[in-house]
Amino acid sequence: MTTKTHERADFRGLRRMLDNILRDDDGTRGLFVQAMGNFLTAAGYQDEVLVRSALAEAKTELGDLLVEAVENLAKRSSASQAMIRQVTTKLEGVPIEPDEQFDELGRSLSSVVSTALRALYDFRDGEIATSRKHGVEVPNAAKLDEHIAHWQAVKANLVDPWPWSNVPVPLPPVDREMVARSRAAILAGEPGEDIDALIERLRSE
């Protein structure tokens, strides 16, 4: 990579940070099991009215637990998003010449994004969908969709087009009209600005 040595060190730090995100776990399934335990205990009674009452209570409790689980998932997702922003802030506007070290950063980033998306998809399409089917309301469930949309955008803009060292760059087409105008300017004796002078001029502006 042609970036400076201190920037290489930053990339290693960024990768360690991303790997740490993957080591975290959440206890949402434990909460779900606890709510189901309450429901089964209630169902053990033979009195139909009591069973219905216990079931309604278990559903409410399960809903509360799921709301809390959504909040926990959203909080973890937000924390991971903040980490990703730190990474992209470091990379923003810095020309990259990909190499193996930069590939490793891309792999770590890809793992963070796919792990976050999988956790959100699994919870939304698993616990939340099943609970809704049985009449359990989870008022804040839309937060999962918001976080999924965010991570999908990160995947589309940052991960999928990652500049891997072994993948050819998808270059834009040449602006042929600009070439023609520039060539005419050179031939007319208006060749432009030396690149050193141009960089210095921009720095001083």
Partner 1 sequence: MHPRSITVLPEVSRRLGELLADKEAVIRVLGELRHHLQNQAAGSRANRDDAQPDFLFTVPIRVLLRGRWRFIRFSVNDTTSPDHFFVEAVSLSD
Footprint of partner 1 (CB under 8 A) = 2, 88, 91-98, 154, 157-158, 161-163, 169-176, 178-179, 181-183, 185-186, 190-196, 198-199, 202-203, 205
Non-local (6+) Cβ contacts of 82 within 8 A are none
Structure tokens at 74: 């959203």
Query: How far apart are alpha carbons 189 and 195 in whole angstroms?
Result: 17
Tell me whether residue 23 or residue 176 sits nearer to partner 1 (CB atom). 176
Q: Which is nearer to partner 1, 139 or 163 (CB)?
A: 163
Q: How near is the Cβ of 18 to partner 1 at its closest, in Å?
A: 15
Minimal distance in Å, beta carbon 44 to partner 1? 53
CB of 65 to partner 1, least distance (A): 35
Shorter beta-carbon distance to partner 1: residue 49 or 195: 195
* Angle of helix 142-154 versus helix 100-123 axis, rounded to 10: 160
Q: How far is the CB of 162 from partner 1 (least distance, A)?
A: 7
Q: 134: closest CA among 49, 59, 35, 52?
A: 59
- Cα–Cα dist 171/49, whole Å: 69
Residue 130 or 157: the one with the smaller Cβ distance to partner 1 is 157
- For partner 1, the closer CB: 110 or 182: 182
For residues 131 and 118, give the distance between their C-alpha atoms in angstroms, rounded to a whole number: 19
Min. distance of Cβ 53 from partner 1 in angstroms? Answer: 51
Structure tokens at 156: 């589309």
Instruction: Tell me whether residue 29 or residue 155 sits nearer to partner 1 (CB atom).
Output: 155
Give how far the C-alpha of residue 189 lies from the chain's centroid of Cα atoms, to the nearest Å.
Answer: 51
Rounded Cα distance, 148 and 81, in Å:
11
CB of residue 31 to partner 1, shortest distance in Å: 34
How far apart CA 60 and CA 131 sit, in angstroms, is 11
